[in-house]
A and B are shown apart, each in its own frame.
Chain A
Amino acid sequence: MTLLVACAVGVVYGASLLLLLRGSLWQLLLGLALLSHGAHLLIFAAGGLVLGAPPLVPEGALRPLEGSADPLPQALILTAIVIAFAVLAFALVLGLCAGEAGGTDELDAYGGEPG
């Protein structure tokens, strides 16, 4: 299971890197979106995967059962998703404006350092 998720992380990172390096504005933005998802999946996998043991506190007990899943990575991911969503929304609008101002989807035509 961990291996499967680890492979998925690798595929997502690889796909996002490919998109980032394509030199096209829209593929760059898609790549950025995928990149954050790769990081989220990575946190999920690194936090330890537990199947079928939700971190619930049984009645009368003070702490969850031994061996239940760690809820903190999921809380981290949730926070990170919210942030990534906001940033992506901004980046999309910026991309729209930059695409209109630059008149092309080709990033190379932009030039990092206008004269």
Chain B
Amino acid sequence: MSGLLLVAPILIPLVAAIAGALGWGSARLQRTIGVTGAGFLMIAASALFAEVQHAGVLAVQVGGWAAPYGITLVADLLAALMVLVTALVGLAVAVYATAEIDESSLARGFFPFFHVLLLGVCGAFLTGDLFNLYVWFEVMLLASFVLLVSRGGREALTSGIAYVTLNLLSSAFFLAAVGILYGKLGSLNLADLAIKLSAPDAAEASRPVAMLLLVAFGIKAGLFPLFFWLPAAYPTAGFAVSAVFAGLLTKVGVYALIRVFTLLFPIGDGQLAPLLLAVSAATMASGVLAAASQAHVRRILSFHIVSQIGYMVLGLALATPSALASAIFYVLHHIVTKTNLFLVGGLIARVGGGEDLARLGALGSRRVGLAVLFAVPALSLAGAPPLSGFFAKLYLLRAGLEAEAFAAVGVALAVGLLTLFSMSKIWMEAFWKPVPEEGRRCERNLPLAAVGASAALAVVTIVLGFGAESLWSVAEAAARQLHEPDAYLRAVLGSRP
């Protein structure tokens, strides 16, 4: 039973992708398969989460090869939470895409590649093997390459080159780290590696590997000196595509960072903590400052992804259980909120005729519903109570104060203010000011499916805000499992350790 639960979130997107590929010619069939697949994924992810919460860490040895020799799929609370929120966002974007994606994008295979992307993301969350993680990353990347550039056009293609290059560079770093680690320790199973690395000499000797992994995942997550590919690439994709990228792709990098730097190279003792702290502060500050200079809806939002990644890595860098819990809380809040902001960005472009803030205006009086749809995730991102972003920041700052990282807390507070500034800039320009002379006429109706998807995510943001206490207790439990990985090790390796 637990085997089925673990395999289902990987199997369902795979089947949906294949089915979508078989029904390539029919737009209607594509849409049906796309949404149905995402719906089934949601059910499977909910079941997995319920089971993990009930029974603890689940693991299955694929093909019956015992760990550490075979490939293990394993779901602790963190992985189950990530799969759940992936499925939620996947479903919302799939529904949104039925309205937003035109026939020509459908004909270029949007839904099959979308499901391959979900396949890669779920696989990366569930695998318990380092090399397998590399393979899932590549699955995810190839799908994202295709989704990013398939619309064509000079901008998408040229920024696609940067995106592909940086991500392949990151993969090469990752692969080199995997190779060296195997050469040193003779294992690739994460749990087995954790035990081997807990020997006093092994961790010291493997420090270069830790740095290689930090750079590899740092590029994918969009950490400070390595994030420039992100804001160049995301705004050039279609809205549904950029929404799912914004929500999920960088967070897979953050997940990998959390996994590696709790299980394999725990941060607590080493010299890594100050480095990560500095990087997280620089990421927060540079992202938000760059966003302040932009005047294009999705370019502002893209730079904010970078700045928000800094918050999550700050939680990881502090490395106390409550800081880890707040990082997990932040990731979950951010995926929902950020995806929704990109979806609303698509709606704004639809009624406003573009994303250039100078050309938008007066949406607030003409489109009250849209204004509310934008306000909820925007205020949540900036950290206004009682939305999820407020509690995410509150818990993180509390953990920061407990750990006495006052400088980082100061940066986080200042960045929060600047985030509010950016969000209010979009608000003032797009919703408040009168329509400029050269503003284009708006499309009359917003498609119901797109509004519904965005509204559903807004409701989730509000619910996460009002139910913050219960989500926090789940995040705390997940952080405890990361902090004391006995349950993880036992689930993967049996009674061996």
- The dominant DSSP class at the B interface is helix
A26 to B218, CA, bound (A): 26
Q: Looking at the assembled complex, report how far the CB atom of A103 sits from the nearest CB atom of chain B, in whole angstroms.
A: 9
How many pairs of A and B residues are in contact by the CB < 8 Å rule? 108
Q: Is the CB of A98 within 8 A of B142?
A: no
Q: Counting CB contacts under 8 A, is B176 at the interface? A: yes
Least Cβ distance of A101 to chain B in Å? 4
Interface size on A, as a range, is 35 or more
B154 near A101: Cβ-Cβ < 8 Å: yes
> With A and B bound together, what is the CA distance between A28 and B142 in angstroms?
18
Q: Chain B residues with Cβ under 8 A from A80's Cβ? A: 134, 175
B22 contacts A by Cβ under 8 Å = no
Q: In the complex, A48→B182 CA distance in Å?
A: 10
Residue on B with the closest CB to A75? B131
Residue B202 interfacial (CB < 8 Å): no
B155 interface residue, CB < 8 Å from A? yes
User: What are 20 A-B contacts defined by CB distance under 8 Å?
Assistant: A20-B165, A28-B161, A32-B168, A35-B169, A35-B172, A36-B168, A36-B175, A38-B172, A42-B176, A42-B180, A43-B175, A43-B178, A91-B164, A94-B145, A94-B149, A98-B158, A101-B153, A101-B157, A107-B161, A113-B299
Given A73-B182, A97-B149, answer yes or no on A91-B157 (Cβ-Cβ < 8 Å): no
Give the docked Cα–Cα distance between A59 and B408 (Å). 64
Q: Does B138 contact A (CB under 8 A)?
A: yes
Q: How many residues of B contact A (CB 8 A)?
A: 39
Contact check, B157 vs A47: say whether CB atoms are below 8 A apart: no
Contact residues of A between 53 and 83, Cβ < 8 Å to B: 70, 72-73, 76, 79-80, 83
Give CA–CA (A66, B469) in the complex, Å. Answer: 57
Chain A contacts of B228 at CB under 8 A?
112
Across the interface, do B168 and A90 meet the contact criterion of CB distance under 8 Å?
no
Neighbour of B231 across the interface among A36, A86, A107, A113, CB < 8 A? A113
Q: Which residues of B contact A38 (CB under 8 A)?
A: 172, 176
B135 in the interface, Cβ–Cβ < 8 Å? yes
* Residue of A whose beta carbon sits closest to that of B168: A32
The answer to whether B176 touches A39, judged by C-beta atoms less than 8 angstroms apart, is: yes
- Residues of chain A within 8 A (CB-CB) of B178 are 43, 76
- Which of B141, B153, B161, B182 is A95 in contact with, Cβ under 8 Å? B161
Contact with A along B85-108 (1 / 0, CB 8 A): 000000000000000000000000
Q: How far is the CB of B171 from chain A (nearest CB, A)?
A: 8
Q: Do B154 and A25 have beta carbons less than 8 Å apart?
A: no
By Cβ-Cβ distance, the 9 closest A-B pairs, closest first, are: A46-B183, A43-B179, A110-B158, A98-B157, A39-B175, A112-B232, A101-B154, A101-B157, A46-B179
